[in-house]
């Protein structure tokens, strides 16, 4: 790779044939101010070009120490990253650039802004490594972590250790130990344990009670934990897998499954695997092979081996499908319905049931194409 340097007012070098040791060191170095440095690949295409207030270039090592750096990293003639920093160093014949202090690196293609205390750029790999207090953001999201990598060819961020992702438009925060953000695909993935909080704006009462000039903090409405997660930023959804558990404040539900599709905007939770839903306040539990919970409308639909149990009343309902309206605690069950209660003892079978489990007011009816009748068993 060929390193080119242009500058204004280069200093004069000593001309004495008998230079002192200090002058000998000076002879090995080139000190320039207001310099422009650039590097080209074997095909002659510019790989990077930077402007500096001061550069100390060592001809023997081919390394350069930089002060007040601004410039561009390029790929196939296109600017892919614009950088600025207080200080830096060029090593390995321009194949490695290290920047320090007040670093800002921006990808103009997608608006991603990268910050950190130390940045290493490897042009051959199209790789930026950021150490110590990484921050990255675009117009919608902000991510912080201990370290990160940015692959400029793929436009991909990999953040590691104490990762926190916060939505600036979507009220959500994600905490994990590793996160991959694929910007062109608008996708974020984590194969590590994650905790995701969804926020509601503060209530009018909280805003009225807040001190002058202080805005009350948003309130966590839902929290989900899982073994891994994948965000679709266009659809504002998250696919969560491995020991998924959701807890919502209102309604006070706890939902557990091994696979959940969470819609952050609509506040819906869809599971195509066995699911358990618990109303913590009413002590009602639903289980089934699959289910859909609409937290905004407070309606739950579970299908396939569906079962509803109220622990307070010892009432038990089986069916192919159960629809549960959380507010009035009303259930509607269809398909091979079985209803049991302990006190007074009762066992009903039919094709449909409507009622409330928390007060044992359930009506079971027959019907259907075979005109089946309700079967009642009185337990002495």
Residue 153 included in any domain? no
Q: What is the pLDDT of residue 63?
A: 87
3-state secondary structure of 318: strand
CA distances (Å), origin 197, targets 154, 206, 266, 300 = 29, 20, 15, 21
pLDDT digits (tens, 9 = 90+) for 323-348: 999 988 899 999 999 999 888 888 88
Residue 288 included in any domain? yes
pLDDT digits (tens, 9 = 90+) for 214-272: 777 788 999 999 999 999 999 999 999 999 999 999 999 999 999 999 999 999 999 99
- Give the residue from 108, 135, 152 where a domain finishes: 108
Residue 219 included in any domain? no
Nearest to 199 by CA among 220, 181, 227, 182: 220
User: What share of the chain in percent tops pLDDT 70?
Assistant: 86
Residue 350 included in any domain? yes
Residue 314 included in any domain? yes
CA 343 to chain centre: 49
On the 0-12 / 13-18 / 19+ scale of CB atoms within 10 A, 219 is: middle
339 beta partners: 317, 348
Structural domain containing residue 295: 274-380
pTM of the model: 0.84
271 beta partners: 291
Residue 354 included in any domain? yes
DSSP 342: T
Q: What tokens appear for 231 in the block?
A: 């965000």
Q: Residue 97's domain is classified under what CATH number?
A: 2.60.450.10
Residue 134 included in any domain? no
How would you classify the pairing of strands 315-325 and 299-310? Answer: antiparallel
Residue with tokens 């750029």: 121
- Give the residue from 108, 138, 167 where a domain finishes: 108
Residue 221 included in any domain? no
Q: What tokens appear for 11 in the block?
A: 């200093």
pLDDT digits (tens, 9 = 90+) for 210-229: 666 677 778 899 999 999 99
Q: Residue 292's domain is classified under what CATH number?
A: 2.60.450
Question: Is 338 in contact with 317 (CB distance < 8 Å)?
Answer: yes
Count of structural domains within the chain = 2
Question: Is 103 in contact with 116 (CB distance < 8 Å)?
Answer: yes
- Give the residue from 47, 74, 108 where a domain finishes: 108
For residues 335 and 101, give the distance between their C-alpha atoms in angstroms, rounded to a whole number. 67
Q: What is the pLDDT of residue 28?
A: 62
104 beta partners: 84, 115
CA distances (Å), origin 155, targets 46, 59, 64 = 20, 35, 28
Confidence of residue 2 (pLDDT cuts 50, 70, 90): very low
Residue with tokens 């290290």: 98
How would you classify the pairing of strands 290-294 and 268-271? Answer: antiparallel
């Amino acid at each position: 790779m060929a390193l080119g340097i242009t500058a204004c007012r280069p200093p004069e070098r000593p001309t004495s044939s008998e230079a002192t040791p200090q002058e000998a060191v000076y002879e090995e170095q080139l000190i320039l101010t207001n310099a422009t440095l650039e590097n080209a690949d074997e095909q002659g295409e510019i790989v990077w070009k930077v402007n500096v207030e001061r550069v100390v270039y060592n001809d023997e090592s081919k390394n350069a120490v930089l002060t007040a750096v601004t410039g561009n990293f390029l790929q196939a003639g296109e600017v892919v990253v614009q950088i600025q920093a207080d200080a830096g160093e060029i090593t390995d014949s321009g194949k490695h650039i290290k920047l320090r202090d007040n670093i800002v690196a921006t990808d103009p293609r997608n608006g991603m802004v990268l910050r950190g205390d130390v940045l290493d750029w490897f042009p051959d790999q199209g790789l930026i490594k950021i150490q110590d207090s990484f921050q990255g953001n675009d117009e919608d999201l902000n991510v912080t972590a201990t370290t990160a990598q940015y692959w400029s060819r793929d436009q991909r961020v990999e953040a590691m250790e104490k990762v926190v992702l916060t939505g600036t438009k979507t009220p959500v925060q994600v905490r994990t130990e590793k996160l991959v953000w694929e910007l062109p695909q608008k996708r974020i993935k984590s194969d590590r344990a994650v905790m995701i909080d969804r926020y509601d704006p503060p209530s009018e009462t909280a805003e009225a009670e807040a001190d002058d000039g202080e805005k009350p903090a948003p309130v966590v409405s839902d929290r989900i934990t899982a073994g891994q997660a994948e965000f679709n930023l266009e659809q504002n959804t998250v696919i969560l897998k491995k020991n998924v558990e959701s807890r919502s404040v209102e309604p006070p539900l706890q939902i557990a499954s091994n696979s959940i599709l969470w819609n952050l905007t609509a506040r819906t939770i869809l599971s195509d695997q066995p699911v358990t839903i618990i109303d913590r306040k009413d002590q009602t539990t639903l289980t089934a092979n699959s289910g859909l919970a609409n937290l905004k409308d407070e309606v739950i639909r579970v299908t396939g081996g569906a079962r509803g149990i109220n622990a307070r009343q010892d009432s038990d309902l089986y069916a192919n499908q159960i629809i549960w309206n959380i507010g009035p605690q009303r259930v509607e069950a269809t398909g091979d319905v079985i209803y049991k209660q302990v006190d007074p003892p009762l066992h009903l079978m039919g094709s449909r049931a409507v009622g409330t489990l928390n007060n044992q007011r359930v009506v079971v009816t027959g019907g259907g194409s075979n005109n089946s009748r309700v079967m009642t068993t009185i337990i002495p």
